[in-house]
Chains A and B, each alone.
Chain A
Amino acid sequence: MKNIIELESVSKKYPHVKALNSITYRLPVGESLAVIGPSGSGKSTFLNLLGGLDKPTGGKIIVAGKEISKLSDKELSEFRNKTIGFIFQFFNLHDFFTAKENVAFPLLISGRPRLESLKEAEKLLVRMGLQDRLNYKPKFMSGGEMQRVAIARALANNPSLILADEPTGNLDRGNAEKVVEIFDMIAKSGVSVVTITHDESISRQFKNTLRLDKGAIK
């Protein structure tokens, strides 16, 4: 597999909006990409299509060698669970789970036994420097800590691609830099990272940049 993502003339139309207009793009395996653009440029749509959360109205999307536009709901779910790792701007951790349980959750979804999943989650959290927050619930953690938990969760099933939607948008400068460092670490391990950001300084730290404007590559 040469490219981690391949988009060929991908379009996404909503009833009154054309979010993406015939986008063609390829990202080689192991490389990271920052998608940058003003509000309404189609960044989130781009990310959702890559993650299989939405389907294109035209064109073809191939991620990690799979044409995801043709997958069934069940196949897409498995794809998201095992191939993709999502990181959200507002963390989106479950408030009723501890940090360890949040990270273990994708493993449970994939059918791994609970104890094994929790052990695995613990290892990931230690890698993130959160060994003291294993049994804490999100409401007892800072924004930076929560985002690191979210990153650990995204890595739980050893994905090929991390999709991050404004991962530093809710963090202070210091924590934002920490997140970028982690992404760098992830990329070096061979996992591609595609992130949406409006922060130019963040985007400069990624090898590739894709500028979108009004649904088209600028």
Chain B
Amino acid sequence: MNIVNSFYLNIKKLFSHKKKAMFLIIPVALLVGLSIVITSEAKNILKASEESIFGTLTDQALTLELTKQPTFQRSGEGGGSQVRFGQSSSTEENFSSSDVDKIESIDGVINASILSTLPISRINTTSLFENISTSVNQLVGIDKGFASQYTVDDFSYTEGRAIPIVINANDFMQRYEDWQGKESITVKFEMRRPGEGAAVGSSGQNEDSPVKTKAIDYEKKDLIGKEIILEIGGLDEIQTFTTEPGNTGMIFTRLTEDEIAQNEADRIAAISPYWDYEKINTPMAYTFKVVGLIENAMERSSYIPEEAASELMKGYIQNQIEARTSKTLDTDLLNNNFTGMTYDGLSLSSGSGFNVPKMGRMVGFGSGNAMNSSDSNSESYAIPGLVIEFDDEGNVVGEINDVSVYDNSAITGTTIFIRVKDIYSRTDVIHQLNDLGYAYQDLSDLDVIDELKSTLSTVVLLTSIVFIGLSIVVTIFTMGKFVSEAKREIGIHRALGMTKSNIRILFISQAVLYTLVGYVIGAAGGIATTIGLSGAMNIAFNNFLSKTLEEAFSVVNPVDSSIFNHIDWQMFGLYSILLFVIAITISLIPANHAANTSPVEAIRGE
């Protein structure tokens, strides 16, 4: 009897004995269906993880952040260096272009860029949080490549469109005054241990101070994508109190309305001869779009594209130049009465006393700008956009009226971003950085990538092993049962002239047929379930992201549900082949047993 007739007989049997046939069909259908669902969703989870988490981690792992830590010298002791993980130590000046050149010469480094805070003194907004004024304390221009660790949105600058900004949550602070009904408050001096810093959202403020800050509550999802107006420049707020050191602490004294008004009048009188007061006092408004959020106590900067930074600086300086009257500003005035950015012929800095190269001393509010200051105690006003030139000895030379001074100045800073070619180069680059004297401790989170990939691979492997094992067990068990229940039938077949080989083929074809039916049902069910589950998987995965990983990583992209409706066709094909190979080979055992059944005993058995 040929194989076609064997299948014909088994099809007839299947329709006649459906319940019995289910003993093999249902387990096969379940095995196939579950295997498809498990392996497909495992692969989809891995892919979703790569797109959302791993992509971020990988981006982060491809960017090294090298930071200089300022050092403190105790009297009588030699200078030491502090090493903090992820940072380099140095007692020298900031990173400069020569450091960039050295680092970019390392094999595996694509590019390096010094992070330099824009020397803009006032950047405020009331559109981030309704009716609350907040400031952006450090704005830095960065390359698009470095921005990818913070955002997946478009980070390019296009004139006329909102400027993308990755904003720092440490700036979400509201400043207010609380005088507790007093006119004067003394804030006692407090000691803080070296290295003791503040956590995100904390002001580090003494609780007695009348000037207080509090953290603003926010939801990240409400901020991402929001367009805000940043006001850049403008004169400082007229101070509403005075401070002077007392014996036990700093004395804060409230000014009266008249005193405040007088201070403003004095300011107008001081500035008006040299600048259009209204123009210089009006900040420039720019539209930004929040594309990312930094929630890290160690980082203080907000980032915009470096092209936008250049445009902002030009606008900032240009605004001051346009507000300028024809009256000459002599060096005395620049020394004593007006402060601004400082330029030493090499680099431009904020002039607030920080990041002043080659000067080596701190200057602060109320004191002169320079070494050649003739009156270090006169009232001075910070003029937004003013650039004061210094010579090599630290003497004021004059004002600079060139908007491109920012673009032409050397960038220096305490942090360098380094982009490595790929994950494999990372370790080698770090070694070479250390060899060059840039101590860097690798704290990457790459292990989590490998761990998750390994876990998901294990799931697929275990599924495959269970699939093979159960297929074998199910086939042997059910086919053995079918053969033992078909003894009489075998006897009839033999009596009517079927050979042992015919009997063997008959039972193997039965196994194949029932497996095929189970396979079709299972495959259809598995595919439908995988697609049907995609919505739920997407919700579950994104919930997981929002509740866990978004707390840890700056950028974690939500994934689209279409990722979860992909079928792992490769494993599906493999399982299909395995299933039928097992059905054919394993059913040989009961089939042989059937073939060797004595026809006499089989018939007698009735």
Contacts and interface: CB of A to CB of B under 8 A. Distances in A.
B192 interface: no
B496 A86 contact: yes
Interface in B204-235: none
A101 B495 CA distance: 17
B16 A96 contact: yes
A74 B499 contact: yes
Interface stretch (B65-73, B282-290, B486-494): B486-494
Interface residues of A, number: 32
B606 interface: yes
Contacts, number: 74
Chain B contact residues: helix, strand, loop or mixed: helix
Interface stretch (B5-13, B242-250, B537-545): B5-13
Contacts of B5: 108-109, 114
A92 B1 contact: no
Nearest to B13: A96
Nearest to A82: B497
Contacts of B500: 73, 77
A77 B492 contact: no
Nearest to A74: B499
A114 B8 contact: yes
A109 B1 contact: yes
Given A108-B1, A109-B1, A92 B603 contact: yes
Interface in A43-99: 44, 48, 51, 53-54, 73-74, 77-82, 86, 88, 90, 92, 94-97
B606 A80 contact: no
A110 B491 CA distance: 17
Nearest to A93: B492
A215 interface: no
B600 A101 contact: no
Interface string A141-177: 0000000000001000100000000000000000000
A183 interface: no
A15 interface: no
Contacts of B489: 94
Given A92-B488, A96-B15, A109-B502, A48 B497 contact: no
A77 B1 contact: no
Contacts of B496: 80-81, 86, 105-106, 109, 153
B498 to A, nearest CB: 6
Interface in B487-540: 488-489, 491-502
Nearest to B606: A90
A89 B598 CA distance: 19
Contacts of A44: 604
B189 to A, nearest CB: 100
A122 to B, nearest CB: 17
Contact of B12 (A78, A81, A97, A106): A97
Contact of B606 (A48, A92, A110): A92
A51 B494 CA distance: 11
B600 A77 contact: no
A149 to B, nearest CB: 13
A92 B603 CA distance: 9
Interface in A198-218: none
16 contacts: A48-B600, A77-B494, A77-B500, A77-B502, A80-B495, A80-B496, A92-B492, A92-B603, A94-B489, A95-B16, A109-B1, A109-B5, A109-B496, A109-B502, A114-B8, A137-B16
Given A54-B598, A97-B12, A109-B5, 15 more contacts: A48-B600, A53-B494, A74-B501, A77-B498, A77-B499, A79-B497, A80-B494, A80-B495, A92-B603, A95-B16, A96-B13, A109-B1, A110-B497, A111-B1, A114-B8
Interface of A: 44, 48, 51, 53-54, 73-74, 77-82, 86, 88, 90, 92, 94-97, 101, 105-106, 108-111, 114, 137, 153, 157
